[in-house]
Each structure stands twice: as C-alpha cells, then as structure tokens.
Structure 1
C-alpha cells in the first residue's frame, strides 16, 4: 500500500460520539488528552475549511451531550449533527451515511468514542465502500487498553490508516509557512504546553 497524502481540499472529518458520558467510560487514554485532541481536530477543520460531520448516539441517556466546545468551534455542524438512536455503526444510519456522502470527499478522517465500538465499524464500512480512511487513535479511546489495542489492530488489518492528532494536523497543513499553517502550529504548541 502506498502513501496517499490527505489534503484539506480532498478530506472530510467525521467526529463520532464525543459525548461527555461516553468519554467518561474511556480508560485507555486520559480524558483531558482525548478531549484536547478532539477539540484540536475541530479547530483544524475550521481553520482549513474541511467539511465536518458530527454525530451522537442517545444524547438524552447515559451517553450525554456532545462536548460543548464543538458547538463553539463548529456551530453550524453542531446544529446539523446527526442524532442516532442506538445505531452502533454510524454508517448504518441513513442520515449519517447521507451526510458523509454529501461532503463529496473520498478521503475521510475519523475520530470516535469509543474506538472499540463507535469508531471501528464505520471505519471498516467506509474502507469497504472505497474510501481512504485515517483514524485518529488519540482523539478517542476504549474502556480498556486491550479493547483499544484490538480495535486499532482490527482497523489497520482492514485497511484503515492509523494516525495521531499532531501527525494528522501536520499532514493536512503541509506547510507551517502559510497563514493556516501558522495558526495550526500555534494550536499544537498551545496543546503541548498544556
């Protein structure tokens, strides 16, 4: 398999179930690190004008609402989020699948909570359907380290490219010397200084 660079003009971002309740179930990565990375991805999409599809599952139940920061960063996408009612594989939800298709992009970046349930199935479904898919492993997590490791291995074996938040931001930026690149490098520096 050859490296195929993702660019801002050919990529869409799918943020799946970054809900306060669901995120609280994750033990494979610290909550604040996972949250920071998801927020950095949202900022990156806003800065680079990358289409974003947000989805949630059963917000009124234990899963809770999406992170409020997503509403601040991506207000239109937040308002248009796809609210699934218990459908595990987001691609099995006709509204989510239609929203993904409507982006017109064949390269998709996915971050989801949890990796072992919410991320693995849509990622594998999208690869099967001919999309190039990168999963941002550190913008999600799982209830156990083993669950996370197994889900990441399963996705990679299924043709998904695994990446990290900083790695993806650098790939999409392409250059720190552009105005957008300058904003993105400041985002990374701020996160590293924590």
Structure 2
C-alpha cells in the first residue's frame, strides 16, 4: 500500500535483529564504568568535572533505562586508599555492585574480566578515569581478545589535554570505535515512533537541562 504524498509518517520502520545488528542495541552490548572516584576526578585536567558528569550520568541513565548489563569497577577502595564510586553515578545504577581492584588495568582483575565474559556480549561500551590509563588499558586488552570496544569520549578525562587526546588516538589506532553519550542513546532508541522512545526522551531532556546549567555557571550559554 502506497501512502499519499502528504500523509504523515507515524509508524516506526521494522526493527533489525537486535542481536546481530552491527550498530549498538540494548540486546547486543554491555556498559562498563571504571574508577569514577573522588581521587580520580581531582587529578583530571583535560576537562571539567561538570562536563565529565554530563556524559557519565547520561551513560549511566541509558544503561539503567535500557536494562543493559553494566559492570562498575573501582580501584584501591579495599586498600583504604580511595573512596567508592561517586554518588552521582551510583544513584543512577541501582543494584549494581562495584568490583574493587588493586591494579590500574581492570582487565587484569579476574572478577572484572569474569563479569564482562559472563554477559556473553562482545560489544563493550566503556568509560573511565583517567582516559590514558583506566580507560585505555582495558580497551587495548579487550580489543586483542576480540571485543568491539566503544569508548564514550564525552564521559572521560585525562590528566591533561595532551594525555587525553593521545590516549584516544592510541585506542582508535588499535581499533576502538569512539562514541558520545547522546549518540549512544540515539543508537539504542533508533526510532522516535517506537513505544519505548520515551526512555530516551526523558534522558535527552535531562541532558540538555544539565548542559544549560553548566553553560550558565561558566558563562558559556547554551540554548536549544
């Protein structure tokens, strides 16, 4: 049946197989967030904490809203050196238990690695502080293990702009596929006419509200 030229489109296109889709779907990926702890934030110099949280909170909200398997990890909490994951993220990830480590490369921790493997998924959406260490090292290792790895660039930061950008280039050269938090949400949602599109509408509205607040406090006003 052919619709008249002026007929509005209100039905979604057919959904591709969410397991085999080459793009990210709620059914073919997992999310991991690594070392979002006060000590790590304190030493980031490539961007502001507010900008990191803008992306990181959005990522956490997406993981929860779309019921994506999520692995949350910290370093040196059990050693008494660092604090747990910051509350701004844990309150968006109810029921997710932190995996604490002693090493800077989470892939070398058997509990972290087992959690990733237990998901049975090969597309890993990853974010961590710092970009050049806690994000880059497991990304490089997982790529060698045959995973597709998607660093969420607007949710991370490095000690300096140079270390952050260098780490991104290193990951890309190794085969990582960088994304951003809002783009990840669009990739999950895919079509505004789907019945679950309000999950993303809520998150994107929250994102822009928070972005306006950042702009107001910094003098960099944003309108939409």
Question: Is TM-score (shorter-chain normalized) higher than 0.5?
Answer: yes
**2:38 & 2:94 partners in 1: Cα distance?**
18
Aligned partner of 1:15 among 30, 33, 38: 33
Match of 2:98 among 81, 85, 99: 81
Say whether the 8 Å CA contact 1:22–1:64 is kept in structure 2: no
Please, what is the CA RMSD of the aligned residues?
Answer: 1.5
Cα separation, 2, equivalents of 1:179 and 1:26: 40
Change in CA separation of 1:70 and 1:193 when aligned onto 2, cut-off 3 Å: closer
1:101 correspondence with 2:120: no
Q: TM-score, normalised by structure 1?
A: 0.92
Aligned length, in residue pairs: 188
Partners in 2 of 1:107 and 1:125 — Cα distance?
A: 14
| Paired position in structure 1 for 2:22 | 4
TM superposition shift of 1:193: 2.5
Q: Where does structure 2 lack aligned partners over 5 or more consecutive residues?
A: 1-20, 211-224
Please list the CA deviations of residues 34-59 of structure 1 after superposition, one character each: whole Å capped at 9, or x if unmatched.
Answer: 01211111110111110000000013
- SS of residue paired to 2:171: helix
Which structure has the larger Rg over C-alpha atoms? 2
Alignment correspondent of 1:45: 63
